[in-house]
A and B are shown apart, each in its own frame.
Chain A
Amino acid sequence: NAGVTQTPKFQVLKTGQSMTLQCAQDMNHNSMYWYRQDPGMGLRLIYYSASEGTTDKGEVPNGYNVSRLNKREFSLRLESAAPSQTSVYFCASSLDRQQETQYFGPGTRLLVL
Protein backbone atom coordinates (compact mmCIF):
# COMPACT_ATOMS: atom_id res chain seq x y z
CA ASN A 1 0.00 0.00 0.00
CA ALA A 2 1.29 3.44 -0.94
CA GLY A 3 -0.89 5.11 1.72
CA VAL A 4 -1.49 8.78 0.89
CA THR A 5 0.23 10.16 -2.20
CA GLN A 6 0.46 13.78 -3.33
CA THR A 7 1.50 15.44 -6.57
CA PRO A 8 3.43 17.49 -7.35
CA LYS A 9 6.17 17.41 -4.71
CA PHE A 10 7.25 20.96 -5.45
CA GLN A 11 5.80 23.82 -7.51
CA VAL A 12 6.69 27.43 -8.24
CA LEU A 13 3.89 29.75 -9.35
CA LYS A 14 3.65 33.39 -10.28
CA THR A 15 1.06 35.57 -8.56
CA GLY A 16 -2.30 35.10 -10.25
CA GLN A 17 -1.58 31.69 -11.73
CA SER A 18 -3.79 28.74 -10.90
CA MET A 19 -2.97 25.16 -10.04
CA THR A 20 -4.45 22.00 -8.61
CA LEU A 21 -2.80 19.86 -5.97
CA GLN A 22 -3.68 16.20 -6.23
CA CYS A 23 -4.12 13.70 -3.41
CA ALA A 24 -4.99 10.02 -3.51
CA GLN A 25 -5.26 7.32 -0.83
CA ASP A 26 -5.43 3.54 -1.20
CA MET A 27 -6.55 2.69 2.35
CA ASN A 28 -10.30 2.70 1.56
CA HIS A 29 -10.74 5.68 3.89
CA ASN A 30 -13.93 7.71 3.85
CA SER A 31 -12.62 11.04 5.14
CA MET A 32 -9.93 13.22 3.59
CA TYR A 33 -8.33 16.53 4.59
CA TRP A 34 -6.16 19.35 3.30
CA TYR A 35 -3.79 21.24 5.61
CA ARG A 36 -1.20 23.93 5.20
CA GLN A 37 1.90 24.19 7.39
CA ASP A 38 3.72 27.47 7.90
CA PRO A 39 6.66 28.25 10.20
CA GLY A 40 5.45 29.23 13.65
CA MET A 41 1.80 28.50 12.78
CA GLY A 42 1.56 24.75 12.93
CA LEU A 43 -0.76 22.69 10.77
CA ARG A 44 -4.03 24.43 9.85
CA LEU A 45 -7.01 22.78 8.21
CA ILE A 46 -8.09 24.25 4.88
CA TYR A 47 -10.95 21.95 3.81
CA TYR A 48 -12.08 18.45 4.54
CA SER A 49 -14.39 15.83 3.09
CA ALA A 50 -16.08 13.67 5.69
CA SER A 51 -17.32 11.28 3.02
CA GLU A 52 -17.55 11.00 -0.74
CA GLY A 53 -19.80 13.74 -2.06
CA THR A 54 -19.35 16.15 0.86
CA THR A 55 -16.87 18.93 1.55
CA ASP A 56 -16.61 21.45 4.40
CA LYS A 57 -14.51 24.48 5.21
CA GLY A 58 -11.79 24.30 7.80
CA GLU A 59 -9.94 27.06 9.60
CA VAL A 60 -8.34 28.80 6.58
CA PRO A 61 -10.46 28.15 3.42
CA ASN A 62 -10.18 31.55 1.70
CA GLY A 63 -8.49 31.40 -1.69
CA TYR A 64 -8.98 27.66 -2.09
CA ASN A 65 -11.49 25.25 -3.57
CA VAL A 66 -11.67 21.48 -3.28
CA SER A 67 -13.15 18.57 -5.17
CA ARG A 68 -13.78 15.08 -3.84
CA LEU A 69 -13.45 13.35 -7.18
CA ASN A 70 -14.24 9.87 -5.83
CA LYS A 71 -13.56 7.91 -2.66
CA ARG A 72 -9.80 7.79 -3.35
CA GLU A 73 -9.07 11.30 -4.61
CA PHE A 74 -9.36 14.78 -3.09
CA SER A 75 -7.92 17.77 -4.94
CA LEU A 76 -7.14 21.31 -3.78
CA ARG A 77 -7.30 24.18 -6.27
CA LEU A 78 -5.78 27.63 -6.07
CA GLU A 79 -7.66 29.78 -8.60
CA SER A 80 -5.43 32.86 -8.38
CA ALA A 81 -2.31 32.22 -6.35
CA ALA A 82 -1.00 34.85 -3.93
CA PRO A 83 2.38 35.05 -2.15
CA SER A 84 0.51 34.43 1.15
CA GLN A 85 -0.27 30.95 -0.15
CA THR A 86 3.41 30.01 -0.16
CA SER A 87 3.40 27.04 2.19
CA VAL A 88 3.72 23.30 2.51
CA TYR A 89 0.44 21.52 1.81
CA PHE A 90 -0.43 18.16 3.32
CA CYS A 91 -3.24 15.83 2.48
CA ALA A 92 -4.47 13.32 5.05
CA SER A 93 -7.11 10.64 5.33
CA SER A 94 -8.92 8.76 8.08
CA LEU A 95 -11.27 5.80 8.10
CA ASP A 96 -14.13 8.15 8.94
CA ARG A 97 -14.92 11.11 11.20
CA GLN A 98 -15.44 8.87 14.21
CA GLN A 99 -12.18 6.96 13.64
CA GLU A 100 -10.16 10.12 13.81
CA THR A 101 -6.59 8.90 13.38
CA GLN A 102 -5.36 10.69 10.28
CA TYR A 103 -2.58 9.47 8.00
CA PHE A 104 -0.62 12.07 6.10
CA GLY A 105 0.96 12.29 2.68
CA PRO A 106 4.49 13.53 2.01
CA GLY A 107 3.46 17.11 1.21
CA THR A 108 3.61 19.59 -1.66
CA ARG A 109 5.95 22.55 -1.30
CA LEU A 110 4.47 25.59 -3.05
CA LEU A 111 6.29 28.86 -3.70
CA VAL A 112 4.27 31.79 -5.07
CA LEU A 113 6.37 34.63 -6.44
Chain B
Amino acid sequence: EDQVTQSPEALRLQEGESSSLNCSYTVSGLRGLFWYRQDPGKGPEFLFTLYSAGEEKEKERLKATLTKKESFLHITAPKPEDSATYLCAFTNSGYSTLTFGKGTMLLVSP
Protein backbone atom coordinates (compact mmCIF):
# COMPACT_ATOMS: atom_id res chain seq x y z
CA GLU B 1 0.00 0.00 0.00
CA ASP B 2 1.28 3.44 -0.94
CA GLN B 3 2.04 5.55 2.11
CA VAL B 4 4.00 8.51 3.37
CA THR B 5 5.50 9.08 6.83
CA GLN B 6 6.68 12.42 8.16
CA SER B 7 9.21 12.94 10.92
CA PRO B 8 9.61 14.33 13.43
CA GLU B 9 6.01 14.92 14.51
CA ALA B 10 7.08 18.17 16.16
CA LEU B 11 10.25 20.23 16.07
CA ARG B 12 11.25 23.22 18.12
CA LEU B 13 14.08 25.45 16.85
CA GLN B 14 15.70 28.64 17.95
CA GLU B 15 15.65 31.48 15.47
CA GLY B 16 18.57 30.99 13.08
CA GLU B 17 18.98 27.28 13.89
CA SER B 18 18.80 25.40 10.58
CA SER B 19 17.24 21.95 10.35
CA SER B 20 15.43 19.51 8.05
CA LEU B 21 12.04 17.85 7.99
CA ASN B 22 11.73 14.35 6.56
CA CYS B 23 9.08 12.75 4.37
CA SER B 24 9.62 9.04 3.69
CA TYR B 25 7.43 7.46 1.05
CA THR B 26 6.55 4.04 -0.31
CA VAL B 27 4.80 4.61 -3.61
CA SER B 28 4.42 2.30 -6.58
CA GLY B 29 5.35 4.77 -9.26
CA LEU B 30 5.69 8.22 -7.77
CA ARG B 31 4.29 10.92 -9.98
CA GLY B 32 4.67 13.98 -7.76
CA LEU B 33 5.78 14.83 -4.21
CA PHE B 34 4.20 17.93 -2.75
CA TRP B 35 4.97 20.16 0.22
CA TYR B 36 2.37 22.38 1.86
CA ARG B 37 2.48 24.77 4.80
CA GLN B 38 -0.50 25.06 7.13
CA ASP B 39 -0.93 27.82 9.70
CA PRO B 40 -3.27 27.25 12.66
CA GLY B 41 -6.91 27.71 11.70
CA LYS B 42 -6.15 28.01 7.97
CA GLY B 43 -6.07 25.84 4.90
CA PRO B 44 -2.86 24.30 3.52
CA GLU B 45 -0.79 26.60 1.34
CA PHE B 46 1.14 25.11 -1.60
CA LEU B 47 4.94 25.34 -1.43
CA PHE B 48 6.62 22.93 -3.86
CA THR B 49 6.16 20.02 -6.23
CA LEU B 50 9.04 17.62 -7.00
CA TYR B 51 8.84 15.03 -9.76
CA SER B 52 12.12 13.17 -10.01
CA ALA B 53 14.98 12.05 -7.77
CA GLY B 54 17.67 14.68 -7.55
CA GLU B 55 15.28 17.56 -8.10
CA GLU B 56 15.53 20.57 -5.77
CA LYS B 57 13.37 23.66 -5.37
CA GLU B 58 13.88 26.74 -3.22
CA LYS B 59 11.73 29.51 -1.84
CA GLU B 60 13.20 32.04 0.57
CA ARG B 61 14.55 30.02 3.54
CA LEU B 62 13.05 26.72 2.35
CA LYS B 63 14.59 24.14 0.06
CA ALA B 64 12.91 20.88 -0.88
CA THR B 65 14.85 17.88 -2.18
CA LEU B 66 13.81 14.46 -3.46
CA THR B 67 15.47 11.04 -3.49
CA LYS B 68 14.00 7.69 -4.50
CA LYS B 69 12.77 7.05 -0.96
CA GLU B 70 12.57 10.42 0.81
CA SER B 71 12.00 14.10 0.50
CA PHE B 72 13.52 16.68 2.79
CA LEU B 73 12.41 20.19 3.54
CA HIS B 74 15.49 22.12 4.62
CA ILE B 75 14.92 25.30 6.62
CA THR B 76 17.89 27.65 6.70
CA ALA B 77 18.15 30.27 9.46
CA PRO B 78 14.45 30.04 10.33
CA LYS B 79 12.45 32.95 11.69
CA PRO B 80 9.45 32.82 14.04
CA GLU B 81 7.15 33.42 11.07
CA ASP B 82 8.23 30.04 9.68
CA SER B 83 6.34 28.39 12.54
CA ALA B 84 3.60 26.22 11.01
CA THR B 85 2.72 22.62 10.25
CA TYR B 86 4.43 21.33 7.11
CA LEU B 87 2.59 18.67 5.15
CA CYS B 88 3.99 16.25 2.61
CA ALA B 89 1.77 14.55 0.00
CA PHE B 90 2.15 12.43 -3.13
CA THR B 91 0.38 11.29 -6.27
CA ASN B 92 1.22 8.07 -8.07
CA SER B 93 1.49 7.19 -11.72
CA GLY B 94 -2.14 6.10 -11.82
CA TYR B 95 -3.15 9.74 -11.46
CA SER B 96 -4.37 9.14 -7.95
CA THR B 97 -5.51 12.02 -5.84
CA LEU B 98 -3.21 13.53 -3.23
CA THR B 99 -2.35 11.34 -0.22
CA PHE B 100 -1.11 13.34 2.74
CA GLY B 101 1.23 12.60 5.61
CA LYS B 102 0.30 13.65 9.12
CA GLY B 103 2.61 16.63 9.12
CA THR B 104 5.47 18.09 11.15
CA MET B 105 4.62 20.92 13.52
CA LEU B 106 7.48 23.42 13.54
CA LEU B 107 7.89 26.06 16.24
CA VAL B 108 10.63 28.66 15.87
CA SER B 109 11.37 30.64 19.01
CA PRO B 110 12.89 34.13 18.93
Report which A residues bind B (CB closer than 8 A): 4, 33, 40-45, 48, 58, 90, 92, 97-98, 100-107
Contacts and interface: CB of A to CB of B under 8 A. Distances in A.
Given A100-B91, A101-B34, A43 B46 contact: no
A102 B46 contact: yes
Contacts, number: 48
The 3 closest A-B pairs by CB, nearest first: A104-B43, A42-B102, A43-B100
B49 interface: yes
Interface of B: 31-32, 34, 36, 41-46, 49, 87, 89, 91, 95, 97-98, 100-103
A101 B103 CA distance: 18
Given A48-B97, A100-B34, 19 more contacts: A33-B98, A42-B87, A42-B101, A43-B44, A43-B87, A43-B89, A44-B100, A45-B98, A90-B43, A90-B44, A97-B95, A100-B95, A101-B49, A104-B36, A104-B43, A104-B44, A105-B43, A106-B43, A107-B41
